[in-house]
Amino acid sequence: MTPLPRPELLGCYSDLGFTPPLAAMQLRWPGEAGSQIHSWTLPGGEVVQGPPPKRFGVLVRRQAEDAYALSLVWDSHCRQWFSLRRREIAGSALAPVLTALETQLDYLLDQPIGSTERTLPTAA
């Protein structure tokens, strides 16, 4: 897959489907990137077909050396995982989307164990 271009941020909101609410964004992807259909692998192996997400939010909480809880909004898909390994997250489609948003996945994964979770710097 070619790198995604930087999307336009249309707005930020709190997704109330999570406790506590998850900071998420509404995005518009430029040009063909916004309409090209891809297979996106979410953490845990679920595959989503479609263009890059127009609604996106992620929260990573490091629980142990190689254990993470993750909350995700990806368009209409709202998911929570309570015990993921680093490789399961790193091997997912989160990295290209986060890179386009100028956030490195490693930044989110390298937080100290038990610290305040790290969210996307651009999310409200």
Q: Over the stretch 72-87, which tens digit does the pLDDT of each residue have? A: 999 999 999 999 999 9
Tokens representing 92?
């997912």
For the whole model, what pTM was predicted? 0.87
Give dist(CA 36, CA 76) in Å, integer.
18
Q: In b/e form, how buried is each residue of 41-59, taking b as 16+ CB within 10 angstroms?
A: ebbeeeeeebebbbbbbbb
Please report which confidence band the pLDDT of residue 17 belongs to, taking 50, 70 and 90 as the band edges. confident
Query: How many CA within 13 A on the CB side of residue 77?
Result: 20
Taken in order 1, 102, 55, 11, the sign of the CA dihedral is negative
User: Residue 16: is its pLDDT beyond 70?
Assistant: yes
**Phi, psi at 46, each rounded to 5°:** -65, 135
Per domain, the residue ranges of the chain are 8-113
